[in-house]
Amino acid sequence: MSVFALVDGNNFYVSCERVFNPKLEGRPVVVLSNNDGCAVARSAEVKALGVKMGMPWFKMQDLARRHGIVALSSNYELYADLSSRMMSILGRYAPEQEIYSIDECFLGFDGFQRYDLMTYGHDMRQTVRQWVGIPVCVGFATTKTLAKLANHCAKKGLTGAEGVCDFTRLNEQEIQELFTRIPVGEVWGVGRKLAERLEERGIAHVDALRRSDAKVLRREFSVVLERTVAELNGVSCLGLDEIAPNKQQIMSSRSFGKYLHDLEPLEQAVASYMAIAAEKLRRQQSKAGLVQVYVRTNPFAEHLPQYQQGLSAPLPEPSDDTLRLIKVARWLLKKIYRPGYAYQKAGVVLMDLQETASLQRSLFAHNPDNERLMEVMDRVNAVWGRGTLRCATEGLQKEWSMKREKKSPNFTTRWDELPEAY
């Protein structure tokens, strides 16, 4: 019988910040999304104050002043570094690992026979905590959906033990008693809307969902829900996705720090996003055959005239050359740009991706990619940070760029931003 674990970092972004800033311990902390918009991570103290996920920063100003909430801009470089350390440690605990997101992974213990999983889980917790400084929770069960639920129980302390929960130790009666206490919305893949519809049918908690007729649910909802019910009953339908496949498309888009009206700053923004996308493209050793650019105004600013448009163009030959890709992107942008609008967001998408190694060069190609230049550019930017060496189209002053006024230093990825000790 196979056993899965789901391990995830508690309030991951906040925990990362706390590793290097111990003063944040015990204080209410939120991490804000791009442009310091809304809460994307909350410490337990902030949750207790009633700050919800996604709450805009301006709406908590009052609360922040009263309770001394510390708000930080997101520092993805730091989070990504600590995440890869955490994943690498966890990967040693099991023969198989699927990294599911920046802060959670599944582990597969196929054929692991009756090791004491609780001890094992506590050991994982302790090691990640000591080595990286991140608190994690561990849930064990016989399917991925159940492991996710066990993780929820571990986090909420529903089964007693701190931070670890093993469903495989519980008997049927204990499972039933536990599941009747968990609302159906906590199940992996059951979103808020679906949860409401299930509740209307009298399926309010997990035990009720588990006992529902899967065939009926399939007919009235979806095959996905049928599979979820099977998984809740211990029938493993989802295996581990071990190797993250190369991305089929690469997107880079951002909201601007303020509205843009003219073509020139828009061109700079689009060129910058393309530079980021092209760098990712080269990192996965692919070339793109199709480029898309889109722009839009702010759909929530209803008093302003609205416009959104996207356009794509195929390349005569797949490319990973930032300069060529930017050229195409600018051409596309000029086609879709209309004056008189307050643009809030732009983005580029690279599609029709092909592996560089397996590409055949076209007979009539006259303008091959400048591979040497791209290599130099990637090296320089790897050492001094993204954008050190860039295309002039990207602009010198990025007046449109994201606001990240409260960002912590890149403690682990920049020599000149290391933590200091006296």
Partner 1 sequence: MSLLSLFSALSRPANSPPLRLPLFAHPVRAGFPSPADDYVCDTLDLNEHLIPHREATFFVRAKGLSMIGAGIQDGDLLIIDRSLNPVHRAIVIAVIDGEFTVKRLYKRGGKIRLLAENPDFSPIDLQEGQELQVWGVVTSVIHRLRP
What residue ranges bind partner 1 (CB under 8 A)?
21-23, 25, 85-86, 88-89, 127, 130-133, 375-376, 378-380, 382-384, 388, 411-412, 415, 418-422
Q: What is the 3-state secondary structure (H, E, C) of 174-231?
A: HHHHHHCCCEHHHCCCCCHHHHHHHHHCCCCEHHHHHHCCHHHHHHHCCHHHHHHHHH
User: Shortest distance, CB of residue 356 to partner 1, whole angstroms?
Assistant: 15
Residue 218 contacts residue 197 (beta carbons within 8 Å): no
* Least spacing, CB of residue 17 vs partner 1, in Å: 13
* Total Cβ atoms within 10 A of residue 402: 18
Q: Which is nearer to partner 1, 113 or 130 (CB)?
A: 130
Nearer to partner 1 by Cβ, of 363 and 396: the residue is 396
Closer residue to partner 1 in complex, CB, 197/247: 247
> Closest approach of Cβ 286 to partner 1, in Å?
16
Cβ nearer to partner 1, comparing 334 with 379: 379
CB 112 to partner 1: min, Å: 23
Report residue 178 as tokens.
Answer: 């536990």
- Structure tokens given for 272: 């910058």
Question: Per DSSP, what are the bridge partners of residue 106?
Answer: 6, 98
Residue 307 token pair: 């416009």
Using alpha carbons, select from 179, 156, 153 the residue that is nearest to residue 166.
153
To the nearest whole angstrom, how small is the minimum distance from the Cβ of residue 422 to partner 1?
A: 5
Q: How far apart, in whole angstroms, are the C-alpha atoms of residue 141 and residue 210? A: 15
Nearest to partner 1 of 25, 200 (CB atom): 25
Q: Closer CB to partner 1, residue 36 or residue 103?
A: 103
- Choose among 244, 238, 179: nearest CA to 209: 179
Smallest gap from Cβ 280 to partner 1, in A, equals: 13
